[in-house]
Amino acid sequence: MSTWPPLARITTTRLLVQRRFSTAARLGYPVEGVPEHLDEKEAGIFEKLREGLSPSRLDVKDISGGCGSMYAVEIESPKFRGLTTLKMHREVQGILAEEIKGWHGIQLKTKATPAGEE
C-alpha cells in the first residue's frame, strides 16, 4: 500500500501530461509535405487534414500498435481561431468521418494558431 497521498499523485500525473503536450507542440512538423516516417494510413489522414484545415502544425500517429484502429492527432490551425475546443474537434471529426467509422477511437489535441504565426 502506498503512503503517497492521492492528491500528490494526481498533481504529478497532470504535470507529466502537460510537459509531454508542451514538448510535442514545439516539435510540430512543418506542414509543407508529408513526413517520411508516417505509414500509408497515417499519411492519408495527414493529407486530408492538411487539405481541409491548412494547419500550421500537424502530427498523426497510430497509437493502436500498428493495426490502424486508433490514432492520435495534434493539429494547430488558423481556421480554429474563435472556436471552442468542441467545435475544433468537430471540424477534425467531420473531415475524417469516413475513416473514423472503422476506428476504435481518436485522441485529439487541437489549438488555434495565434494571429501572425501562420
* Cα 99 to Cα 40: distance, rounded to the nearest angstrom: 13
88 φ, ψ (degrees, to nearest 5): -60, -45
* pLDDT at res. 30: 52
* Cα 54 to Cα 6: distance, rounded to the nearest angstrom: 42
Interval 7-31 mean pLDDT: 44
Q: Domain spans of the chain?
A: 6-112
For the chain, what percent of residues have pLDDT higher than 90? 59
C-alpha cell at 65: 500498435
* pLDDT at res. 33: 79
Interval 7-11 mean pLDDT: 47
Of 35-39, 94-98, 99-103, 114-118, the least confident: 114-118
* Cα 111 to Cα 108: distance, rounded to the nearest angstrom: 10
Question: Whole-prediction pTM value?
Answer: 0.72
The CATH number corresponding to 6-112 among 3.50.50.60, 3.30.300.90, 3.40.50.300, 3.40.50.720 equals 3.30.300.90
More confident residue, 38 or 13: 38
pLDDT digits (tens, 9 = 90+) for 45-91: 999 999 999 999 999 999 998 899 999 999 999 999 999 999 999 99
Q: Mean pLDDT over all residues of the chain?
A: 80
> Is 24's pLDDT higher than 70?
no
